[in-house]
Amino acid sequence: MKTLIVYFSFTGNNKLLANTMAKDLEAEVLQITEPKKRGMFGIMLDMLFNRFPKIDNLEISWQKYDHVLLMAPIWNYLIAHPMKSFIRKNSEYLKNYSFITLCSGRETQKEKIAKQLKKLVKYEPKTIIEFEILKLPTYEEQKDSIYKVTQDDLKIFKEEEAYQKILKTYAIKKEMV
């Protein structure tokens, strides 16, 4: 099964996850970028007005892929706005897709993510996964600043059932000779 990973990342965590998962799945990976440099103030305004910011165009040959993995952070319960812009722009192609976020982790968040996707896309996602920074043993050490996920942290997420299930379902199956 050929998977395309499309991600947005502000501080690098979802980028690290996207590139790691792309290697594991042998998937192609594309980054959502913006014409305007983003800062914390822009995030605040996006959250406040629930904006759909301008994003750079991505040329995608959708017919090449069987499954699309969307990855982005969550900002105050909301799917990061540049990802929302991408989803809205490409909703007609999102039939077999999943949403994964590497986020801090908050209760009832998954339902809120599902609701947002429902508003934007006709089809339901195959799965929604939150990899939660809060659960990491090193979380307390970086608690007062934005947590930067490390390769060691990723090893922990990779052991989670959800990660394994994604690999099992979407990794390219090699023919046995």
Ligand X SMILES: Cc1cc2nc3c(=O)[nH]c(=O)nc-3n(C[C@H](O)[C@H](O)[C@H](O)COP(=O)(O)O)c2cc1C
What does the alpha-carbon distance between residue 41 and residue 170 come to, in Å, rounded to a whole number? Answer: 37
- Residue 92 or 140 having the CB closest to ligand X: 140
Stretch that binds ligand X, among 88-96, 100-108, 135-143, 166-174 (CB under 6 A): 100-108
When asked if residue 164 is in the footprint of ligand X (CB under 6 A), the reply is: no
What does the alpha-carbon distance between residue 10 and residue 74 come to, in Å, rounded to a whole number? Answer: 11
* Helix 81-89 vs helix 40-49: crossing angle, to nearest 10: 60
C-alpha radius of gyration, the chain, whole number: 16
- Residue 80 or 121 having the CB closest to ligand X: 80
When asked if residue 139 is in the footprint of ligand X (CB under 6 A), the reply is: no
Contact pattern from residue 21 through residue 50 relative to ligand X, giving x for each residue in contact according to CB under 6 A and a dash for the rest:
----------------------x-------
156-168 residues labelled b (16+ CB within 10 A) or e (exposed): bbeeeeebeebee
State which of positions 104-123 bind ligand X (CB under 6 A): 104-106, 109
Distances (CA, A) of 149 to 1, 25, 58, 157: 28, 20, 26, 10
State which of positions 57-96 bind ligand X (CB under 6 A): 73-77
What does the alpha-carbon distance between residue 72 and residue 84 come to, in Å, rounded to a whole number? Answer: 9
Assign 100 to helix, strand or coil: strand
- Nearest-approach distance from CB 96 to ligand X, in angstroms: 24
- Nearest-approach distance from CB 130 to ligand X, in angstroms: 7
- Residue 3 or 109 having the CB closest to ligand X: 109
> Which residue is it, tokens 């990899």?
131
- Residue 34 or 169 having the CB closest to ligand X: 34
Interacting residue ranges for ligand X, rule: CB under 6 A: 9-15, 43, 73-77, 102-106, 109, 133, 146-147
